[in-house]
Amino acid sequence: MTALLDRTDTAVRRPYVSRGVGFAGISAAMVAILVAAGAPTPLLPIYQHQWGFAPWVLTLAFGIYAFALLVSILVFGSLSDHVGRRPLMIAALGLDLVAMLIFLAAPDVGWIIAARIVQGVATGAASSALSAAVVELAPERFKKLGAQMTSMAPLGGLAIGALFAGLLAEFAANAAFEVWFALAVVMAAGTVFAVFTPETATRKPGAVKALNPRISLPRQVRRLYWTTVPGIVGGFTTMTLFMGLVPALLVAVFGVRSPIVGSLLAFVALGAGTAASAFSSGVKAPRLRFAGTSAMVAGAVLFVGSIGATSLPLLWAAAVVGGAGIGASFAGATRGLVPEVAPHERAGLFTAIFFVGYLAMGTSAIVAGIFIGVAGAAATAVGFGVFNAVVTLIGLVAIARFNRT
């Protein structure tokens, strides 16, 4: 009995960091887990050269991550509303550390795919809990920044991951080892930090029931949510385009074989999205959604035009315009939806948002892999670009109609 009281007293007196420090640290952890997700993009072609596997395996490794993440979101997405944010963050960051260690020791592509599955599960489990925790830990004067972080972190993290790994792939002697070792250290630090982060959610019953795969979308935001779905789909498939297809396209159409060029294109696209989200805080959410979706339509047109004209400048322009559209559209969606739901509904809302996005990402990556083998990289990329233009144009019409009413 005395030992039990001692343990309880120790738990009560645990030296949690302040909410402000927690906000900064968990925001960094949210970025870091996406940095790790973006890092494999420039490394997969190196693995292909070393191990000699077929090109479709590249898209399988990319797509399997998205599907693992999708299943994880469905199972664990609302769990932090019941057990608290902190336990789920600790578990997810620890699992991502395991994924980094598998990458680090991988002897063949089968282990890389296994690591991507573990990484997808970890990222999915972390997505809703980290997003909700960042909003809740933000000091009162930074509440708007907390909401901004949820839209900036996915794009910024993926951009940094692609650039970081791409630079090492270009200049380091053993790029893969250095990338995964550095990220393993970061994940270990993030896991330890999460242990000392204060809890922001009140536990409620129903944790076991919450593990049933489902999407919990609050009734009051359903109409607004459905108008944002085409923009979310277009944004995530545009990310797939620059992170999964462009490296193959650069070789097949533009004759560019340096891995740093593909990494820079991904960085520019995702970095433009991050900047659009960061510097649009004064723009009202409905206008931001409309402007972002319009930019994605224009970016898709520029992308298709770059292939038809074999023009690298047009491809760079597509990265800037389309990437900015991703950030503005996603920021407008989250800023419009998050304030309309109660704190205990936030994790469920983010689950609904990420579910649609990663379903689109995983499906499009697998389909693109199949078509590359049949029709080639150029034709596949053109079809992909046309699809993005049509989907985002539908979203533009839906947003315009919603804004009028």
Q: How many domains does the chain have?
A: 1
> What CATH code is carried by the domain that includes residue 114?
1.20.1250.20
Residue 4, in any domain of the structure: no
Burial class (CB in 10 A: 0-12, 13-18, 19+), 285: buried
Report pLDDT for 14: 57
Report pLDDT for 210: 65
- Residue that the structure tokens 């994790």 belong to: 347
Report pLDDT for 11: 43
Residue 326, in any domain of the structure: yes
Residue 122, in any domain of the structure: yes
Report pLDDT for 389: 94
Burial class (CB in 10 A: 0-12, 13-18, 19+), 287: middle
Residue 134, in any domain of the structure: yes
Residue 105, in any domain of the structure: yes
Residue 100, in any domain of the structure: yes
Query: In this structure, which amino acid lies at residue 294?
Result: S
What domain range includes position 122?
Answer: 17-404
pTM of the model: 0.80
Residue 157, in any domain of the structure: yes
Read off φ and ψ for residue 159, nearest 5 degrees: -65, -45
Report pLDDT for 295: 96
Report pLDDT for 230: 92
Can you list the residues of the chain whose pLDDT is less than 70? 1-15, 55, 141-145, 147-148, 150-151, 206-207, 210, 212-214, 347
Residue 1, in any domain of the structure: no
Cα angle vertex 303, ends 300, 304, to 5°? 90
